[in-house]
Amino acid sequence: MKYFLLTIACVLLTVSAPSAQTKRNTPAKPKVDLAKKIADATPAALPQGPRTGKPRSDAQDENLRGKVKSVIEYSQEPGGARVIDHEKYFDEDGYLIREIEYDEAYPSSVTVWGFVDGVRVSKTNEIEYAKGEKPPPRGQELLEMPIPDPMYANVPSDPRFDSRYTYKYDDQGRQIELRNFQSNGQPGTVHVFLYSGNARDQRDYESDGTELSHTQYMLDTNGNTVEERMFGSSESDVVPDLYSHQLDSQGNWIVEKVSEKSTVRGKSILKPRWTTYRTITYYP
């Protein structure tokens, strides 16, 4: 799927240094009922079967252990406040049924997941805010918008969902391909996963085969990332991000610290980049 980016500029007020630090590190108190915003934006639930189009659950694909009911994720940069990023809710078989995305601690979209005619599908509603209901974004906001393909201009969309997905797995049950399509059949991005030892390579492509990104992950024995390398136009001199984890009793990580290796005065040091926290609940 082709995309273009819209850049939305915002004006930042000049304040004294202490106030700026406080504003940067402490999320503003919501002026609206966020729970109602989420409820009003939540699409109707989708059917949860048959599941012929996805033999493995989403929890398995995300390397989650046990009967996970929900995962709420927060991030925190050094010196900053801990803010919520997203919420995911699973059924008892590990299939994702609802997801809430946040932008600077404010919910931005709600997605429901399900199956239509055996195919994995999703439907998303964006959350709208009136002027003054939330703070303006800091800096510039980039919006990724799909560009319609003329070939599909007269193809009707399926009103039951927004996107559908196809999956491929290898003989060890590892995901090796993920494709998404619009509800009118227009192809979108393609994600390809290659495995070698404890390394997993992910390459993302446009529908026409243009490579969008290339990332390599080194995994530990639990399948968690311990090193990540993101390659650009040149695949040399890439500085890796290093990961460490704190696990819960089920073996799922609940704290993930990401650091960058750098050299200062001839000595190698780890510079903290951010920390991710997960609150995980389980079915009985």
| pLDDT mean values, one per 10 residues, the chain (284 residues) | 37 37 55 93 96 93 97 96 97 98 95 96 96 78 64 86 96 95 94 96 93 94 94 68 97 97 80 96 98
In a domain, 17, yes or no: no
In a domain, 95, yes or no: yes
Counting the structural domains of the chain, the total is: 1
In a domain, 110, yes or no: yes
pLDDT at 84: 97
Q: What is the 3-state secondary structure (H, E, C) of the chain?
A: CEEEEEEEECCCCCCCHHHHHHHHHCCCCCCCCHHHHHHHHCCCCCCCCCCCCCCCCHHHHCCCCCCEEEEEEEEECCCCCCEEEEEEEECCCCCEEEEEEEECCEEEEEEEEEEECCEEEEEEEECCCCCCCCCCCCCEEEEEEEECCHHHCCCCCCCCCCEEEEEEECCCCCEEEEEEEECCCCEEEEEEEEEECCEEEEEEECCCCCEEEEEEEEECCCCCEEEEEEECCCCCCCCCEEEEEEECCCCCEEEEEEEEEEEECCEEEEEEEEEEEEEEEECC
What's the predicted TM-score (pTM) here?
Answer: 0.84
pLDDT at 44: 97
In a domain, 209, yes or no: yes
Return the bridge partners of 84, or none.
Answer: 74
In a domain, 70, yes or no: yes
In a domain, 152, yes or no: no
pLDDT at 155: 84
User: Which range of residues forms the domain containing residue 271?
Assistant: 28-136+160-282
In a domain, 153, yes or no: no
- Phi, psi angle pair for 202, to nearest 5°: -120, 125
Residue 82 sits in a domain of what CATH number?
2.40.160
In a domain, 81, yes or no: yes
